[in-house]
Structures are given as C-alpha cells and as structure tokens.
Structure 1
Amino acid sequence: MRKAHNNPRAGRVSSLGLALLLALFVVSSASAQTIEDALRFSSRQPMTGVRSLGMAGAGAAGIADYSAMFSNPAGLGYFRSSGFSGSLSFFSTEDQGRFTGPSTNALDNRINDTQLGHLAYVHKVRTRQGSLVFGAAINQIESFSRELYYSGDNGDNSVTDFFLPVAGEYSVDTNDGEDGIPNTADDEFIPVFDRDLSFIAFELFAIDFDVDAFEAGNNPFFPAVSTGTVEQTGTIREEGAMHEINLGVAAEAAERVMVGASLNIPVGKWTLDRFQTEDDVNNANDGAGGTTDFASLDWTQTIESNLVGVNVRAGVSVSTPSGFRAGASIETPTYYEISEDYSTIMTVRFDDGFRDSYGDDFSEDVGAGSFDYNLITPWRLGLGVGYSKRDLRVMVDAEVIDWSQMELDSDLVSFAEENRFIAQNLEDAVNVRAGIEYDFGPLTVRGGVASISDPRKTSYGRLDSGDDRSRAFVGVGLSYRAADRFVFDVAWSGEQFYDEFVTYGVEGAPLVSEEVLRGRFAIGIRAKL
C-alpha cells in the first residue's frame, strides 16, 4: 500500500506490507449486476430459424415450423410429416456513436459475426386420428456482438475525477512515523479503500492524498488532472450470443384444437472489453501552478458472463374450416444461473518519465475476481391470429411482459435495492409481430415487421435525444421447394435501435449517443423424412 506524504509520488512500503494491508479491507466487485445487465440477458430477438426470420417471428397463432417451440408449441401439431432443418446466421452490426461533451464528434464502427442459426428435428407419430408430434432443436435467440468507438476533447472533467472516493468508501490509518512523535514530518497516512478503482488509481497516482486537507477535515483526495483539456478515446466491444435448447410436444386435443408444450434451456456467453485512454494533449498539467505533471492514462475493463437457464412454454391453437386460426401461449419465468469473471488493468504516465501499471501481474488482483448470481425473468403471455387461403398466409402476434417483476438474487449479497429499482422503473411492455407469405408454385416469398418495446419508464429510460430503446425489425425471405422433399431457405432481417453510454459516473461526463443497425442474413435447408 502506498503511503501518503506531502511530496508527490512518495515511496512505497514493501510488497509483504502491501499484501498484509490488502487483507484488511473488503474488496468490492468491479462487475455490475444492474437493471441494464438484467435487461440485456433477458432480451431476445423475435424470431428463430430462416422461415421465421423472413416473417419477423410471427407465428403465435400456430405454425407448422420448428420455431413453434419458440413462439407457440401448439404449432408443432400442424406438421404433416417428420423432418429436420438447419441454418447458419451471419450478423453485421454497425454502431454509429456521437461523442457529446465540450466537443462533439461522430464515429461509426462495424463488427461481423457468424453463428449457428439452428438445428432441429421434428418427429410425427403415426396415429389413427388426430396428431402427435415431438420436436427437438437448438437455435440462436440473441446476438450480443457490437463495437462502439468514441473520441473527443473534454475540458470540463477527467476520468481521474471518477476515481475519487466519496465518504464511506475509504478510511485513513495514521502513525507517528519512525520518530514516534505526532505532527512531525515523518508522520504516515495510509488510506484504506473499499472501492477497487480508487485503490488502483491511488497506487498509480491517478489520484493522490492531501495531508493538509485531511487534517482540516476535508476530503483529502485530489485528481491527477486538475485543469486544461484532455483527449478521451475509447472502445467498447461486446461479443457473444444466446442459444436455446428446446424439447417440445404437441397433440390434437380435439378436432382443430392443438395443444403443446416445450421445455427450454437457454445458454449463452457475453463478454465486454472496454478500453479508455486520456491524454493531456496540451500539457496543461505540467507540474507548475499546483498541477501534477500528468501525461496519459489507459484503463481496461473486461467482463465475461456465462449463463444457463430453464423455462417452460405451453400453448393452444384453434383453426376453422374457413382458414382462420387463433392461438395463445404462456411462458414461465426463466431462472438463470450466471457466473461472471472480471478484471481491471490501468496504466498511468507522467511527464518526468514515471510509468506504472496495475492489474497486469497475477498478484495484483484488486478489481479482479468472480461472482455468481441468479436472474429471474417475468412471465410472458403471447396471443396470435392468422388467416390462410390457398397460397396465402398472414399472421399477427402480440406479447405482453410485466418487466417490473424481474428479479436479481444471490446467496452472497442482497439485491434488495436493485430489485426495488427494477420494480419502480420498469413497466409492462407489448411486443408485436406481423408476417405474410405467399406461394408461387415451388417458390415462396415472405416478409414481416416486428417491434420490441422499451420497458423502461420515461422518467428513467428516456435517452438524451428524446428517443427510447425500442427495437424495430423488418424481415424478408425466400424458399425454394425441390423434389417435394427438400426446401432451401434464405432470409434477411434488419434491426434498428437507439442507445447511449455515459463514459464515467461524474456529473457533466461526456455522453455517447448511439444508433445501432444490425443486419442478419441466414441460409438453411429443410428436409422431409
């Protein structure tokens, strides 16, 4: 632990002393299990599979497609034969960021990703009457991949301001030094931090300790950057995907009435790599006039979350001889177990050649660790209507979710405050989907639109631009039937939504407004058995 003196960049105690002192304070998690994390892991695209992709996921009325296990399992009952299908998905995500601080700068970045779209098998049991169908599938239900790049000048504040601890996040141990006499020049003041970033920043002199301020009863910490304009540059890269394993069954309970259910196991991985630099480009902090000779700072944070969950869907679908169809489905809360690993690396440089890093050595484990917790999502209710006549099929869906019922849980810490915040700031959301397809002989064309509503209340979630974070989708697709046994599918969907990112938690910190555009192209094959 570095000792604080009146001289800048004073000496340090031995590594043994550092290890002993580290054991005295509680290390707070550098990870963040927040309302935004809960929403990220609970969200999913409205469609799975190539046919569903082209119709923007519409199918809650009941559809003879493996995606019925995702929308309404009763639709499995409409299969006329056994079969299998598979697909690949290709994602391209563009993140258009606009850095807004004292200066404004717009930058675009694009990231590509390829994933297994789905694999599915449907088995139709021979029956004397009615229908009995079993299904199994694995499919991608969400992509986390995106990359934001931002850059701009900031003369109002610094990331070193964010590292400053507030009351309750530190204490100060004092001793009388080697001479044993209080109030002499060799007195030592040793801050002990309950906040990881403050500890790391203090070790690297990104923040420092003012003895006079401490003895006067004031906040004794000050940032390395106290004046001038700094250039701030950063990259935030997210990667990963959610997949879902389905085991489903459907049967004809009465004439033209299908019922079905599926057991679903969502599994996924999300990684976050955040890198931010700050550079005293004009050398305003040169060691003169009460400033430090700060030169630059690099700050890297990484988080890796692995998820596995379970839920059950059940549904019913009713059809009429005239071609109308209606369906309803219900999904239990998904119970997720989430394991998270996180780490922090920071490097600080000064004009006199001093350079030091923390977190790049195995023994430097403050700001690094693991944490396990649970996420319980809300119930979902789906309703759908459809109409088919000869070569035409039209479907419209609605899904209702009360997001205020979502909860975080852990055996290690209490999430009472976070769950109270969720209940107060999230509300009901209605998601809608509509799709159409038409057969031209062996060729089928389809299209659809969908919207996933932002569940954040206006008082909490409204973006600085005035927009919310609702996600809009459009889909188009094409199928070709060959030899009455094989169907080749292609589809494309486009997604658009707005988001924003506050670079660090200081009043007046730069804001990065985002428009995210995601394209998904899928190719697949279906085969009758």
Structure 2
Amino acid sequence: MNVNKIFLASLALMLGWGGTAFAQDEVDALRYSRLGVSGSARIQGIGGAQAALGADISSLSVNPAGLGMFRRSEFTFSPGLQFNNTDTNTNGNQVSDSRNVLSVPQMGLVFSNRKGDNEDGDWRGVNFGIGFTRLNNFNQQVSYQNTTGEITPTIVEYFADLADANGRTVSDLDQEFNGGFYSLEGLAYGTYLYDIVEDETTGEVYAAPLVREGSILQQESIRRRGSQNQIDFGFGTSYKDRLYIGASVGIVTTRYTQESVYREAESSENTAFTDLELRDEFTSRGTGVNLKVGVIARPVDALRIGASIQTPTAYTFTDDYQQSLYAGYDDGPRESASIMPGQFSYRLTTPFKATGGVAVFLSKYGFITADIEYLNYSSAHFSEEDDGYGTTGNYFTGVNNTISDTYRSVWNYRIGAEGRYEAFRFRAGYAISSDPYKNASFDGQINSFTLGTGIRLQNYYVDVAYVNSNGNSRYSPYTLYGDEPVVDIENKQSTVMFTVGYNF
C-alpha cells in the first residue's frame, strides 16, 4: 500500500469527524452487516420468515435447502418502488426529507432436475438456482438545522481542538498549507478559522479559534445513494421428500455514495467572520463472498423445521474521497481550501449468521411460519490490504476496538402467515431487527410490518407485497466534549413490490 494512503487513513481515523470522506468506522461496519426484509414479494409479504418454508427463489439467500422442494423449473422477476422518509429533530428544530427509488429487488432462475414420482431412489434429484437479491437500499436524504447558544462552541472550536489533539505546530501546518492539504485541521488553518498562538504568561502553545459573537446557525444536508446486492449460486436436494439439504455461494456487491454540505453562519456585525461551508463526498465500492449451508426437515406433512448458517462475508472495499472548506469574512475575500481527491483500499469482514425456523401448514388453508436469527455485530472488523510483502499494519486497531465496545450480539425475529382461497393468497407478517447497540441512549430496534397478496395459476403467478419499516438513529457532525449538536432521526421506509413467476 502507498505510504501516503497509509498516513491519510491513519490520520483520518484519529480525527473522528462524523462525515469525513476517509473514515472507515463502526457506522460503516453496521451499514453492511444489518440487512432489512428482502426476497420475493411472497416472502416479503410474510415478514421475510422463510427458513423452514422452501420452494421459493429467496431460499438461495437464506436457506438453500429450500431449493430441494422445487418440482418444476421457475423464473421470477420482481420490480419494486421504495419510499424513504426521514424526520430530524435538533433542539426542537424539525426538518423532513424524502427520497423515492424504482428498482428490481429480486430476480432468479431455478433449474429442476427432480425425479418423477414413478422413478426409484431415495434421493429425488438435484435442483440448481441462481438469484439476485437487493439486501440494502441506501438511498436517503437527511437535513437538519440548529441554533447554538451565545457561548456554545461549534465546529470552529472542534477544528482547533483537532489541531491541539494532533500536536500540530505552525511549521507543519504551514508546510501543509504550501504543499497540499491532507487533514481537516489543515483545511481550517488554510481558511484562517484558527491560529497557533503562545500564551505570554505561561508560554503554552495552543490553537486559538477565531473570535465570533452571538448565536450560530448550523445546517447540514446529507444525501446518500447506492445499494447492497447479492448474487447467489446454489443447489438443493431431497431425501425421500422428508429431508432437504442445500448450499449456496453468495457474491455481494455494494456501492455507497454520501455527499454532505455543512454550514455555519453568524449574524453579528462586530466580527469579521460571516459563514463557513464544509463539503464532503465519498464513494465506497466493495465486493464480498460468503457461503450458506442449510437443512429442512419435514417429519410430517403439516410441519417443517429449518436451519441454516452463513459464513462471515469477506469484503474488499475501495473508497474515493474529496473534501473542501470555504470561509467568508466581511473584511476580505472568501477563503477556500481542498483536499485533493484520493483513494484508499481496505477489507471488512461482517458477522457470522445462524437462522432457524418452523412452518406449520393448516391443510389447504395456508400456513404460519416463524424465524429466529442470531448474529454478533461486535465481531465485524476492518483490516488493511496486504502491502505486497505479505504483512499488514494495525491501523484499524482503534476502530475495531470501538466496534467491539459499541455493538452486541442480537436475536432477530420474523413471523408471517398465508391464507389460501382457491387460487388466491393473502399474507401478513412482522419482523424485528433488534437493537445492535450496547449502551445507546436511544432504542435502535427496527420494526417492519408487511402485507401481501397473490394469485397462483398452473404455470404463472403474480404476487404483491407492502413493507413498512420504522427505526430511530442519532447523528452528530462532530464530537466536542458533549457540546456538539445531536440530531435525532426517525427513519421511515415503505416498499411496494411485485413478483411475476413462470413455471416450466
């Protein structure tokens, strides 16, 4: 790895800037580890509870043993429309934003090689499948505003605090100013938001932020785009139509882009400062791989019991980033400084996952199914790419320790039911993604309510599902001894999805 990239990455981790382009932190680890309700419209309509159900293309991504239940080949295609809404509250200042996306959350193909009912043999043949699943949709718009108190420190004081914390001197800041910016406190120094001074009494050298007066208006707009998708290749087989086993390999691709604009403005005419603007943009692209192995037992016709495990997903990421800072003064020109676009590559391993489920069939009238899922978010960890000599550094030790200290193991729950009347299907479900935080001051649980319906004909079927998910989160643009603004965010996501299937 290039030495400059190593230095930039290490420095970025020390900065702690909540929106910085370079930072790989605990927020990124959770983003790629915590998945929502996914699958075909049939599966989403029952809350995603499918570990014991089988005979659906979605089995590839949860319990591939379900492939062994297919009696015919099948093709499915599932378009969907997602509505994302966020409500923010910062000290009583409320702002709402929305972003809607049209996508294809699922599609797949199963090739059935099942033996005929009159053919001998306990093993009833092998079915193969390939499926595409959208695991996460990152599209979101978040905005907030806040007005500070008369003497409340803001991001300007944070910049000065960074300079002190990192032991910056006039000499090395001037060198950065003349040779090219590579740090956040360097940008602030280059736009004259603080200076390095010496106390005449004590001789102490410290970073002194520029003088401002009165309350400060703070605003930020964050736009997030991208998705996390998985392509699965798998097989499933049946033993006497009582035991089903299967396995699949998942190739996960992800792209995440975040663009943020943070502003502060002062209205007082007694100081030179008028406003600042920090622009931040980064794009993460990653590819990962995992393995899933599962089993479903059908001891009697009315009962199915399923279990599966998924290995940790091993990702390789590349981040592209750029950052600019602007500052306005009423006694001179608008100052600006930018970090040149750069790139950094690294690895991320997400948690191991285990899922169990049961499905009870009520004769021809439908079924009830439920899943329980275990994973330990604190086991996610970052690592550096090999440096070409077979060794890696320890640049992510701090952030990995933060992941261990911040997150915990959880049990997630899903339950759903389907009622049948002739060719028609009616579905409902509920899913809980449990709070991943150890000691957060808010409840990070996500609740999803689902409804669905469909019609099944001889060779075709059509399903539709509606999923409504709600959860809370918190965000701070910077950390400053408890004086930073805290933004309470209510996330609401609604999805309408259709699945069209053809049996052959």
Q: TM-score, normalised by structure 1?
A: 0.84
2:437 to 456, 460, 476: 456
Change (3 A) 1:214 1:304: farther
**2:133 is the counterpart of 1:139:** yes
Residue type of the alignment partner of 1:418: V
The aligned counterpart of 2:193 is 206
Q: Mapping of 1:91-240 within 5 angstroms? A: 91-100=82-91, 104-127=92-115, 128=119, 129=121, 130-155=124-149, 156-164=152-160, 165-173=163-171, 190=174, 196-210=183-197, 212-213=198-199, 216-240=202-226
Supply the distance in 2 between the matched residues of 1:347 and 1:417 (Cα, whole angstroms): 31
Backbone CA RMSD of aligned residues: 2.1
Q: CA deviation at 1:402?
A: 2.1
Unaligned runs of 5+ in 1: 1-22, 175-188, 288-292
Q: CA deviation at 1:261?
A: 0.5
Q: CA deviation at 1:112?
A: 0.7
The aligned counterpart of 1:15 is none
Q: CA deviation at 1:406?
A: 1.7
1:334 to 308, 313, 317: 313
2:274 to 295, 299, 302: 295
Supply the distance in 2 between the matched residues of 1:331 and 1:316 (Cα, whole angstroms): 12
Report if the CA contact (8 A) 1:214-1:220 is conserved. Answer: no
- Find the residue that maps to 2:399 and give its secondary structure: helix
Q: CA deviation at 1:481?
A: 2.6
Change (3 A) 1:321 1:478: same
How many residues in Structure 1 have an aligned counterpart in Structure 2? Answer: 468
Q: CA deviation at 1:225?
A: 4.5
Percent identity over the alignment? Answer: 26
Per-residue deviation, residues 326-363 of structure 1 (Å, max 9, x unmatched): 0110111110111111110111110124212222xxxx
2:330 to 339, 344, 351: 351
Per-residue deviation, residues 430-454 of structure 1 (Å, max 9, x unmatched): 0110011111112111111001112
Report if the CA contact (8 A) 2:418-2:427 is conserved. Answer: yes
Change (3 A) 1:74 1:36: same
Supply the distance in 1 between the matched residues of 2:308 and 2:359 (Cα, whole angstroms): 15
The aligned counterpart of 2:18 is none
Q: CA deviation at 1:168?
A: 3.1
Q: Mapping of 1:127-526 within 5 angstroms? A: 127=115, 128=119, 129=121, 130-155=124-149, 156-164=152-160, 165-173=163-171, 190=174, 196-210=183-197, 212-213=198-199, 216-283=202-269, 286-287=270-271, 293-359=272-338, 365=340, 368-388=341-361, 389-411=363-385, 413-414=393-394, 415-458=396-439, 462-463=440-441, 467-482=442-457, 484-507=458-481, 508-526=483-501
Q: Mapping of 1:7-86 within 5 angstroms? A: 27=8, 28-29=11-12, 30-86=21-77
Q: CA deviation at 1:489?
A: 1.5
Change (3 A) 1:157 1:323: same
- Find the residue that maps to 2:199 and give its secondary structure: helix
Residue type of the alignment partner of 1:146: Q
Supply the distance in 1 between the matched residues of 2:282 and 2:328 (Cα, whole angstroms): 25
Supply the distance in 1 between the matched residues of 2:165 and 2:144 (Cα, whole angstroms): 32
Supply the distance in 1 between the matched residues of 2:167 and 2:364 (Cα, whole angstroms): 70
Residue type of the alignment partner of 1:98: N
The aligned counterpart of 1:11 is none
Q: Judge which range, 71-80 or 422-431, deviates more.
A: 422-431
Residue type of the alignment partner of 1:324: L
Q: Judge which range, 65-74 or 191-200, deviates more.
A: 191-200
Supply the distance in 1 between the matched residues of 2:237 and 2:49 (Cα, whole angstroms): 21
Residue type of the alignment partner of 1:506: L
Q: CA deviation at 1:192?
A: 5.6
Per-residue deviation, residues 30-87 of structure 1 (Å, max 9, x unmatched): 5111111101111211321211111111011132100011221111111121010011
Supply the distance in 1 between the matched residues of 2:215 and 2:201 (Cα, whole angstroms): 31
Supply the distance in 1 between the matched residues of 2:206 and 2:418 (Cα, whole angstroms): 68
Supply the distance in 1 between the matched residues of 2:468 and 2:278 (Cα, whole angstroms): 34
Per-residue deviation, residues 401-434 of structure 1 (Å, max 9, x unmatched): 1223221111364212222232333221001100
Change (3 A) 1:54 1:219: farther
Report if the CA contact (8 A) 1:62-1:72 is conserved. Answer: no
Unaligned runs of 5+ in 2: 13-20, 386-391
Q: CA deviation at 1:504?
A: 1.5
The aligned counterpart of 2:16 is none
Residue type of the alignment partner of 2:225: E
Report if the CA contact (8 A) 1:248-1:260 is conserved. Answer: yes
The aligned counterpart of 2:15 is none
Report if the CA contact (8 A) 2:233-2:249 is conserved. Answer: yes
Per-residue deviation, residues 115-169 of structure 1 (Å, max 9, x unmatched): 2111200111042352421110111111111111111211212211111112434
Supply the distance in 2 between the matched residues of 1:150 and 1:386 (Cα, whole angstroms): 45
Report if the CA contact (8 A) 1:84-1:120 is conserved. Answer: yes
Residue type of the alignment partner of 2:377: W
